[in-house]
């Protein structure tokens, strides 16, 4: 889908996920230009694009290793970017990490490190073109890296841990280019990644929470909105916890 945007848009990778979709709606309601990105040209992506009147691109990093195609798709819509939100992931078998097939580990590492690196390489020059407009990069991580990690999601957490380090290093590099990087660490939400958890398991987690519920996507997307409004400019480069879990 192609379009010409007046002001530099914010590109959302993972736009059809729970966080990406809710954030897209919230940012659009606040008059921000967007480009939606997802791994597939799905009905969800098309419907969201039509709903909020934002162009979209589809690119699967696992099936297409040629990042030049992704670059061309973005540039067909806009040559520069006012922001970047990265909320990507893929489901995996919930097993003990020592029983996990190495193919699963490699897939998670590819998604959260290699694909992340490709996104940054492609988008950074486009963000630099908008450096006078205070461009921002937001990476969606997880609060499980801030405390004692749970079992059976080891491949995901190992890859996310590497990505957190990547983003911290990146933050120190790009602040010199007037680009701020934010690492958001949300609590567990109901999403595609947790859809294969038994309901009884999620209910047990909720019962242990101080407010007897999981974190909701509004709490996360409101924080992202605050980032792109400039309210959290002094919090770049560090993990920002957004969670209703115990501290």
pLDDT tens-place string over residues 129-138:
998 899 999 9
Residue by residue, DSSP assigns 27-65 as: HHHTT--EEEEESS--HHHHHHHHHHT--EEE--TTT--
> How far is CA 219 from each of CA 7, 22, 168, 226, rounded to the nearest angstrom?
27, 10, 23, 11
Compute the distance between CA of residue 137 and CA of residue 206 in angstroms, rounded to an integer.
31
Compute the distance between CA of residue 184 and CA of residue 1 in angstroms, rounded to an integer.
29
Task: Give residue 28's pLDDT.
Answer: 98
Is residue 33 very low, low, confident or very high in pLDDT (cuts 50, 70, 90)?
A: very high
Q: Do 79 and 123 contact (CB within 8 A), yes or no?
A: no
Nearest to 220 by CA among 27, 10, 9, 13: 27
Kindly report, residue by residue over 159-187, the tens digit of the pLDDT. Answer: 999 999 999 999 999 999 999 999 999 99
Residue 1 has pLDDT above 60, yes or no: no
85 SS3 class: strand
- DSSP-derived secondary structure letter, 244: S
Residue 5 has pLDDT above 60, yes or no: no
Torsion sign, CA atoms 87, 90, 92, 98: negative
Compute the distance between CA of residue 168 and CA of residue 170 in angstroms, rounded to an integer.
5
Residue 79 has pLDDT above 80, yes or no: yes
Q: Do 180 and 137 contact (CB within 8 A), yes or no?
A: yes
Is residue 207 very low, low, confident or very high in pLDDT (cuts 50, 70, 90)?
A: confident
Residue 193 has pLDDT above 90, yes or no: no
Mean pLDDT of 81-88: 97
Instruction: Compute how many other C-beta atoms are within 10 angstroms of the C-beta atom of residue 231.
Output: 11
Please name the helix (run of DSSP H) or strand (run of DSSP E) that holds residue 162, with its range, or none. Answer: helix 154-174
pLDDT above 70 covers what percent of the chain? Answer: 97
Compute the distance between CA of residue 104 and CA of residue 93 in angstroms, rounded to an integer.
8
Largest Cα separation within the chain, whole Å, is 51
Residue 228 has pLDDT above 60, yes or no: yes
């Amino acid at each position: 889908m192609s379009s010409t945007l007046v002001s530099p848009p914010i590109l959302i990778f993972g736009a059809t996920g729970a966080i990406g979709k809710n954030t897209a709606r919230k940012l659009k309601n606040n008059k921000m230009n967007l480009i939606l990105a997802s791994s597939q040209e799905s009905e969800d992506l098309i419907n969201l694009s039509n709903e909020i009147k934002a162009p979209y691109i589809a690119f699967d990093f696992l099936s297409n290793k040629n990042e030049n195609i992704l670059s061309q798709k973005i540039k067909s819509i806009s040559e520069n970017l006012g922001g970047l939100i990265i909320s990507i992931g893929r489901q995996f078998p919930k097993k003990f990490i020592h029983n996990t097939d190495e193919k699963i580990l490699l897939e998670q590492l590819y998604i959260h490190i290699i694909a992340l690196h490709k996104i940054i390489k492609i988008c950074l020059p486009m963000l630099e073109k908008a450096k006078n407009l205070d461009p921002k990069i937001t990476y969606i991580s997880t609060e499980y890296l801030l405390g004692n990690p749970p079992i059976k999601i080891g491949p995901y957490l190992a890859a996310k841990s590497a990505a957190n380090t990547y983003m911290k290093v990146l933050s120190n590099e790009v602040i010199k280019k007037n680009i701020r990087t934010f690492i958001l660490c949300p609590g567990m939400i109901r999403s595609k990644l947790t859809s294969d958890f038994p309901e009884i398991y999620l209910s047990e987690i909720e019962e242990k929470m101080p407010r007897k519920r999981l974190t909701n996507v509004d709490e996360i997307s409101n924080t992202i909105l605050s980032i792109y409004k400039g309210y959290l400019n002094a919090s770049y480069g560090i993990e920002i916890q957004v969670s209703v879990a115990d501290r």
